[in-house]
Amino acid sequence: MSSLRSKWSSQLLFLGIVVLTVVVIFLLFYALLWKAGNLTDLPDLRIGFYNFCLWNEDIGALQCHQFPELEALGVPRIGLALARLGVYGALVLALFVPLPLLLAWCNSNEGEWRLAVGFLAMSSVLLASGLGLFLTYTWKWVRLSLPGPGFLALGVAQALLILLLMATAVFPHRAKDKSRLESCWF
């Protein structure tokens, strides 16, 4: 009876890890693709990884700035490029997490499990560094009182990545006494 209970609890924990991984991927897609990377999207202010639009009183509309103007405003080209690389790289690495997780579960392979943990760790580091770098350069325009849904989605994704990293790092591996076919069935 206790063997069956431990089997179900480990399967539920694994299923929870997979569901959280899918939620993180969804949040990253939402913030970076659906919302176009905009962290603040207001009628008089739109700031994101590809948009930098400030309200211009003279013309009475948003005026979007490109790079010679952005550098004059204090947003360096290399800093913005590194921030983009960080957040979009986090999305790419998060896409690689589910396959090693499933392979490690089916094959009881600790190396594949560590690969998934490595993808989660790198994704978390890239997202935190990219978002932190971007906020460092745009802090005078983006305040905590102005976050849009994209910013909130990235913040929740970062928190879930840290939770996933902790859960996968301490997750107990399955016993290797089952056959390969039997180990992949839930």
Q: Which two tokens stand for residue 145?
A: 């009182």
Confidence of residue 126 (pLDDT cuts 50, 70, 90): very high
pLDDT in tens, 27-67: 999 999 998 888 888 888 888 888 888 888 888 888 888 88
State residue 87's pLDDT score.
95
Confidence of residue 5 (pLDDT cuts 50, 70, 90): low
Mean pLDDT over the full length of the chain: 84
pLDDT in tens, 59-105: 888 888 888 888 888 888 898 899 999 999 999 999 999 999 888 88
State residue 161's pLDDT score.
95
State residue 58's pLDDT score.
80
What are the chain's domains? 2-38+76-183 (1.20.140)
Burial of 24 (0-12, 13-18, 19+ CB in 10 A): buried
User: How far apart, in whole angstroms, are the C-alpha atoms of residue 135 and residue 100?
Assistant: 32
